Amino acid sequence: MAKPDRVLVIKHGALGDFILSTGPFKAIRQAYPDAHITLLTTEPYADMARQGGWFDDIWIDHKPKLWQPGAWMELRQRLNNSNFTCVYDLQTSTRTSWYFKLLRAPKPDWSGIAEGCSHPHDNAFRDEMHTIERQAEQLHMAGIQDLPAPDVSFLTSDVSHFDLPEDYALLVPGGAHHRPGKRYPAVAYRELGRHMAKQGTAPVIIGAEAEADVCAEVAHDVPLARNLCGKTSLADIAELARHARVAIGNDTGPMHLIAPTGCKTVVLFSTDSDPKLCGQRGSDVTILSAMMTSGIPFLDVVETAGLGSGGDHFTGIKVTRMEP
């Protein structure tokens, strides 16, 4: 791409995808240090984007529906009046490809998958690539060569008010209610907590308010347990992870947030999602997967997390160490 002075980056979410895009955000800023860079995102990720320091402006995309022509016209006018010289579409969805069509000619340089764009990610197998490698190749085709690893170092917080002991571990037992197959059984997490407590490690359970039921079930009758469900911000989670002995959780957004902190991270996958496409990345990440998460033996998790010897229990379990 020609050196632009006004850049638009599009990334709506979700949390895990947004974390995996922090490398591209940083790369785009480094490539154009003097440009005015705007991010088009959704409300849940605006504060994180501001804290990252990569963007000069943050736009909230309310993602208008087909039956809202007025909202579409407003978005079209805003995009065109801003006179962007290039666009990096990191969402690469049908919706964002329609945004390309909203731009009048001559259209700005556009990196993405929109038909007719100047810098298409022209790889028929892009959907079979991990998000990081896919975005790296997309940016490479648009002239940005070096892609940093995911980085959440900007997310810091004072977590002293939680009054946690020095030796604690994080348990992340939640997940989307409509995808129960991604959840390791709550009773197994509770047993992990009890096992930790016997060693003097406090199990700290984190999750969103919508996961209060499963977090309460995990914390029930577990010595030393602290249930912080609904009490932590994204910055809190990152800071807690930096000081935790280990974090164990399902394939969820918070585990993507924890992995780049350097915390020893164990992620439990079922065939509901593929770690080759969306696995967490960090310096000390191990993924255990089975057809169903309930098929991952408890002792395998214990041993992988460094919580004691589980013996030779890895038969039939795929263990993959994800490099940063």
Residue pLDDT, tens place only, 114-136: 999 999 999 999 999 999 999 99
Q: What are phi and psi of 8, to 5 degrees?
A: -115, 130
Residue pLDDT, tens place only, 3-57: 789 999 999 999 999 999 999 999 999 999 999 999 999 999 999 999 999 999 9
**Which domains, from first to last, does the chain contain?**
6-141 (3.40.50.2000), 160-322 (3.40.50.2000)
Distance CA 284, CA 298 (A): 20
**What average pLDDT does the chain have?**
93
CA atoms within 13 A on the CB side of 156: 2
Q: What is the pLDDT of residue 311?
A: 39
Q: Which two tokens stand for residue 279?
A: 């696995």
Strands 318-322 and 285-289: antiparallel
pLDDT band for 153, please (50, 70, 90 cuts). very high
pLDDT band for 231, please (50, 70, 90 cuts). very high
Is 0.85 topped by the overall pTM? yes
Contact 188, 226 (CB under 8 A): no
Strands 168-172 and 202-205: parallel
Burial label for 157, CB within 10 Å (0-12, 13-18, 19+), is middle
DSSP of 52-75, one letter per residue? HT--SEEEE-----TT-HHHHHHH
Q: Higher-confidence residue: 292 or 177?
A: 292
Q: Is the pLDDT of residue 258 over 50?
A: yes
Q: What is the pLDDT of residue 1?
A: 72
Distance CA 317, CA 320 (A): 10
User: What average pLDDT does the segment 264-269 reach?
Assistant: 97
Distance CA 292, CA 180 (A): 10
Name the amino acid, one letter, at 100: F
Residue pLDDT, tens place only, 284-311: 999 999 999 989 999 899 999 999 754 3
- The radius of gyration of the chain from alpha carbons, rounded to an integer in Å, stands at 21
Which residues neighbour 190 within 8 Å (Cβ) at sequence distance 6 or greater?
Answer: 217, 218, 219, 220, 221, 222
Contact 79, 99 (CB under 8 A): yes
User: What average pLDDT does the segment 164-192 reach?
Assistant: 92
Q: Could you give the percent of the chain with pLDDT greater than 70?
A: 95
Contacts 24+ apart (CB under 8 A), 151-156: 151/22, 151/23, 151/26, 151/260, 152/19, 152/22, 152/238, 152/257, 152/260, 152/261, 154/51, 154/52, 154/53, 155/48, 155/51, 155/234, 155/235, 155/238, 155/239, 155/257, 156/235, 156/238, 156/239
Name the amino acid, one letter, at 163: D
Q: What is the pLDDT of residue 2?
A: 67
Is the sign of the CA dihedral 237, 154, 279, 91 positive or negative? positive
Q: What is the pLDDT of residue 312?
A: 40
Query: 247: which strand partners?
Result: 170, 265
Q: Is the pLDDT of residue 165 over 80?
A: yes
Q: Which two tokens stand for residue 14?
A: 């979700």
Sheet of 265-269, strand order = 226-227, 202-205, 168-172, 247-250, 265-269, 285-289, 318-322
Q: Measuring CA to CA, which residue among 63, 47, 64, 51 is closest to residue 10?
A: 63
